[in-house]
Chain A
Amino acid sequence: MRSIGYLLTHYDVLGAFGVNLQLTAWSVLFSLVLGIILVLLRICPVRSLRLFATGFVNLFQNLPLTIVMVFLLLGAFVQLRFQFSSNFSTNFFWFAVTGLSLYTSAFVCESIRSGINTVPLGQAEAARSLGLGFFQSATLVILPQAVRGSVAPLGNTLIALLKNSTVASAAAVSTETSSLMNTMIQYNASSIVSVFLIFALGYVILIIPIGLLTTWLSNKLAVRR
């Protein structure tokens, strides 16, 4: 039996959590941008764009993340030889961010769309009667209210994203937490419970504040009607 102290000093646990946080941060950025584009497409007046966005969202919401990652790695990198960088760790990091962003953007889109449903129809009608076009009414009137109404589901999506970042190991990112956990178990078979506790507590410590913060924000930002 090895103590938790031994495990923490012999393995770079903080560094591994750092990698997961970096993956999450980049994926938040890209999935928010992509998610907002998708939600604009889903509510736009052009039918073919709506269909495209609906198809994209349904595809990525229903594909397991592991499969997205493995497809990117074995399909795009190994078979088609597409690469972000000739440096392996940079390359795999961005593959993982790509996979996480594509997957999460579908959920971001649906979260914001649920926020749009909280905006009364009169708001859109008022925007139109002021002479605003689709893009103006969407970005100036509808989306600002919709995002304020979708903080709670977006927070849940963020929590899911942070936990999903461990799937980056399927895209060969070997410095993140689940890979480190595997290595630690491999060499410290007698201390599986301690290894488990370290990572379980690590995630609990990271995720509880996110939950509290988004709940607080969603109350503070909600449009009172």
Chain B
Amino acid sequence: MPFQSVSLRSLGRSARRRIVSAVLALVCVAGSVMASACGNEDVQVTGPRIRIGVKFDQPGLSVDNGGQFSGFDIDVARYVANKLGYSPSQIQFKEAPSAQREALLQNGSVNMVIGTYSITQDRKSVVDFAGPYFVAGQDLLIRRSDRSKITGPRSLAGRKVCSVSGSTSATTVKKYFPRSVQLMELSGYAECVTALVSGAVDAVTTDDIILATLASAKGDHSLMVVGHPFTKETYGIGVRKDSPHLVAKINEALREMIASGEWKRDLDAATKGTGFTPNKKWNPPTRMDAAVSDERVRF
């Protein structure tokens, strides 16, 4: 209880000086963290293991079943790692929550991040992207019984929507959906699906591929994706800043994966039973140019 030992009367000049120096120390620590992230050499993946940052909680895309990983992102990770010369047993999957992805790449905790990582201009200023390996769009997941009533964001007026707290999808709802739409923000999409099934909300919104895999994981055809994506999210593979050789190698692997048909087989397996087909105009991606996401909303 540090505060209890400082009485207000004794908070003289020395104490004030101590507080100032403590704040300065904090700023210095922050400064050194930023400085350490500014290496210049081209980063290559070397060593006996490759560390890949993935999400642990997105059924169908990447999910951890007690050390057994599966999903579309995991399939992409394994394919790319294989092309870089790593067998599946040499891959170490690490959890990369959305808010920590850049930090994990910058401090070298992971060699690459494959986890519904939308390419944006701001992120490009701190990390490099290979890909895109998939182009998603924000869409709605609804109960199948509502399919005649809910056809897009406009038909949601007066209804309730769930998304993940702090996500870009939640921001889109606040900015562009009709004012009368109420938004529930939870910590994960699995919780949102619970709320959708129980009737507490009428729709769950995020990228279509995530929604499709959630519906697939539910397993009983009771949920469906509306199928009219209204944003464009390019999913890339994040690597440390200034690694053009690594990016080129990963892009090469992605092109092969798409050309060989492996890409389509893995995607179909991940969304089995939902009748979901990715937006044909954008998928499979043909140009590995790390195009930034287009977050303008078109209903």
Contacts and interface: CB of A to CB of B under 8 A. Distances in A.
A94 interface: no
A174 interface: yes
B7 A216 contact: yes
A80 to B, nearest CB: 9
Which has the most chain A C-beta neighbours within 10 Å: B1, B23, B160, B167? B1
Contacts of A170: 187
A215 B166 contact: no
Interface stretch (B84-92, B191-199, B212-220, B243-251): B191-199
Interface in A46-98: 70, 73-74, 77-79, 81, 87-89, 92
A117 interface: no
Contacts, number: 118
B241 to A, nearest CB: 10
B170 to A, nearest CB: 7
A108 interface: no
A189 B102 contact: yes
Interface string A167-178: 001101010000
A179 B185 contact: yes
Interface in B152-175: 160, 165-168, 170-171
Contacts of B185: 169, 172, 174, 179
A135 interface: no
Which residue of B98, B166, B186, B195 has the most chain A CB atoms within 10 A of its CB atom?
A: B166
Interface in B110-129: 120, 122-123, 125-127
A179 B5 CA distance: 33
B165 A179 contact: yes
The secondary-structure label for the interface of chain A is helix
A217 B48 CA distance: 61
Nearest to B187: A170
Contacts of B3: 155-156, 159, 207-208, 210-212, 214-215
B65 to A, nearest CB: 22
B98 A186 contact: yes
A218 B4 CA distance: 9
Given A88-B182, A211-B4, A189 B122 contact: yes
B183 interface: yes
Interface stretch (A123-131, A141-149, A192-200): A192-200
Interface stretch (B26-34, B133-141, B257-265): B26-34
Interface string A202-225: 000001101111111011000000
Interface residues of B, number: 47
A79 B199 CA distance: 9
A212 B1 CA distance: 12
Nearest to B31: A193
B220 to A, nearest CB: 18
A174 B183 contact: yes
A214 B102 CA distance: 40
A185 interface: yes
Contact of A152 (B4, B103, B126, B186): B4
Interface string A137-168: 00000000000000010011001000000000
Contacts of B6: 211-212, 215
Contacts of B186: 73, 172
B8 to A, nearest CB: 4
B36 to A, nearest CB: 11
B166 A92 contact: no
Q: Which of A201, A215, A216 has most chain B Cβ within 10 Å? A: A215
24 contacts: A78-B195, A78-B200, A81-B198, A81-B200, A88-B183, A92-B184, A155-B4, A156-B1, A169-B185, A170-B187, A172-B185, A172-B186, A183-B171, A186-B168, A186-B171, A187-B171, A189-B122, A189-B123, A212-B3, A212-B11, A213-B8, A214-B3, A215-B3, A215-B4
Interface of B: 1-9, 11, 19, 23, 26-27, 30, 33-34, 98-99, 101-103, 120, 122-123, 125-127, 160, 165-168, 170-171, 182-187, 191, 194-195, 198-200
Given A78-B200, A212-B6, A214-B4, 13 more contacts: A87-B182, A88-B182, A174-B165, A182-B98, A185-B98, A186-B98, A189-B101, A193-B34, A196-B30, A210-B3, A211-B6, A215-B7, A216-B8
